[in-house]
């Protein structure tokens, strides 16, 4: 039975998807964002069980809410990169109130962090991008569902007035990276481009994508071999790293932005 289950997980659309989507554009790992945009291949991996649990919950909720006046798994285009549309699916959309809802099935640490500090940058950017895909976005909701609890008493709902700025920032950053990758690749070739990607800043927290790349053999747990040792990058390219911001700071500039609500 196990091979049947694992084959099913490995052939899910979410698993096979290679084009970058709204859930990935907000990462603070510039290295992995550039690797995805460059089309790096991943190392062979085992069937991921925890993400599949989330997939099953999404499928159940799609059926649960589909007949109650909401739009479920609404396909939207949130912007373009190099002229190509970036698409995603909003888990739940209430057209009457302009509210997008995103289900997140999470473990204890993520749930605790969300209750204490609000959503991560990646989740906030994803919610912002979804709002760009609908005509009347007014409110963003991220619902944290406890993976390890016996009831939904520990669930947490983050609600805030819709803010398009994180989404705009993420699209602009990704487009800048694409332009730089194209410029370096055309000027010096793919090897120099990939060497530049390897030395880009990585997440200061935990990044699920780091060490999954076929073209990133120098990953190690102590960070001793992260720099490419076979290609001497021109200094003008290494200085470009500073142009690509790992973190969105726009919300700090606007003191009048509505305060988020959690419950």
Kindly report the pTM of this predicted structure. Answer: 0.86
Residue 210 has pLDDT above 50, yes or no: yes
Burial of residue 4 (CB within 10 Å: 0-12, 13-18, 19+) is exposed
Indicate whether 67 belongs to any domain: yes
What is the rounded average pLDDT of the residues 216-224? 50
Indicate whether 53 belongs to any domain: yes
pLDDT tens profile 6-58: 999 888 776 556 689 999 999 999 999 999 999 999 888 788 899 999 999 99
Place of tokens 């950053």: 173
Indicate whether 192 belongs to any domain: no
Indicate whether 148 belongs to any domain: yes
Indicate whether 213 belongs to any domain: no
- Residue 16 is predicted with a pLDDT of 55
Domain count along the chain:
1
Q: Which of 96-105, 188-197, 254-263 has the lowest mean pLDDT?
A: 254-263
Sheet holding 139-146, edge to edge: 71-81, 84-94, 99-106, 139-146, 156-161, 261-262
Residue span of the structural domain in which 96 resides: 43-163
Backbone angles phi, psi at 166, to 5 degrees: -60, -35
Distance of CA 21 to the CA centre of its chain: 7
Indicate whether 243 belongs to any domain: no
Indicate whether 61 belongs to any domain: yes
pLDDT tens profile 125-178: 999 999 999 999 999 999 999 999 999 999 999 999 999 999 999 999 999 999
User: What is the rounded CA–CA span in Å between residue 190 and residue 170?
Assistant: 24
Q: What is the CATH number of the domain that holds 73?
A: 3.90.320.10
Indicate whether 65 belongs to any domain: yes
């Amino acid at each position: 039975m196990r091979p049947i289950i694992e084959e099913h997980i490995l052939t899910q659309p979410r698993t096979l998807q290679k084009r970058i989507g709204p859930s990935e554009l907000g990462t603070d790992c510039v290295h992995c964002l550039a690797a995805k945009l460059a089309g790096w291949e991943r190392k062979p991996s085992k069937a991921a069980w925890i993400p599949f649990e989330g997939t099953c919950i999404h499928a159940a909720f799609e059926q649960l809410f589909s007949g109650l006046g909401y739009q479920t798994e609404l396909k939207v285009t949130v912007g373009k990169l190099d002229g190509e549309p970036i698409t995603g699916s909003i888990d739940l959309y209430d057209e009457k109130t302009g509210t997008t809802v995103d289900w997140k099935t999470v473990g204890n640490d993520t749930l605790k962090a969300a209750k204490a500090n609000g959503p991560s940058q990646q989740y906030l950017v994803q919610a912002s991008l979804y709002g760009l895909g609908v005509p009347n976005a007014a409110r963003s909701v991220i619902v944290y569902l406890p993976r390890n609890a016996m009831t939904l008493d520990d669930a947490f709902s983050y609600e805030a007035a819709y803010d398009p700025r994180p989404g705009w920032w993420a699209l602009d950053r990704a487009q800048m990276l694409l332009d730089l990758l194209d410029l370096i690749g055309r000027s010096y070739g793919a090897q120099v481009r990939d060497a530049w990607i390897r030395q880009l800043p990585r997440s200061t927290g935990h990044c699920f994508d780091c060490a999954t790349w076929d073209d990133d053999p120098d990953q190690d747990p102590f960070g001793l071999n992260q720099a490419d040792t076979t290609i001497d990058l021109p200094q003008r390219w290494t200085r470009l790293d500073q142009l690509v911001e790992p973190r969105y700071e726009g919300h700090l500039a606007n003191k009048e932005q509505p305060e988020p609500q959690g419950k």
